[in-house]
Homo-oligomer: A and B are copies of this chain.
């Protein structure tokens, strides 16, 4: 048994979620991919295990995945974010929910279109209440880079949460997968980080790259 926490990745069959699951399993965490469809989750888990040469990744229905984990990552599309998280409210109680949701509004995903209140993740913290420690993170990290262990990921992680200790735990997770991560303020500040994703999409298109990112500078 590892002393590293088991992590559920809800929406882990998608590009961003499976990429994070891949990196976390590679770093030694037990990972449970969660999906509405358990068979789909198990298929993704099998692919990741094959790529990693381990059995660290399992697949399960989302509620089972969330129940087993002590930290839950949410990587579903914006349109499914609130319903998915609210369905898991019982399983999330007392845990850290790491929300990577970006409120992109297709088709104009390169245009900042702020959700009600400015931040999709802050809105979710309001809906879930204080029993769930919501931490916004990983919104700017390109799925393109996560999937290839040969890629060093040239993107820092800005971590926003009202609970600073929960944010520090997530900063630790980011560091475990080789990323620099910084506490970026209360969950309200996630508005900046979420919106920045549309800026990066604009830059990707103009510069014909797959995954631009950001680095924090000036830290001496």
Contact = CB atoms under 8 A, between A and B. Distances in A.
Given A189-B195, A192-B192, A198-B189, A154 B112 contact: no
A23 B183 CA distance: 31
Contact of A214 (B206, B209, B214): B214
A202 B216 CA distance: 12
B212 A215 contact: no
Interface string A177-196: 00000111110110111011
Contacts of A183: 202-203, 206
Contacts of A191: 112, 114, 191, 195
B214 A217 contact: yes
Residues of A in contact with B, size category:
35 or more
A154 B215 CA distance: 10
Nearest to A182: B203
B199 A184 contact: yes
Contact of A215 (B142, B145, B188, B217): B217
Given A192-B195, A214-B215, A114 B118 contact: yes
Contacts of A112: 118-119, 185, 188-189, 191-192
A127 B209 CA distance: 35
Contacts of A202: 183-185, 189
Nearest to A214: B214
Nearest to A117: B114
A110 B209 contact: no
10 contacts: A111-B186, A112-B188, A114-B191, A183-B203, A185-B202, A191-B191, A191-B195, A212-B218, A212-B219, A215-B215
Question: Would you list the 7 A-B pairs with minimal beta carbon distance, nearest first?
Answer: A192-B195, A185-B202, A154-B217, A212-B218, A215-B215, A114-B118, A213-B217
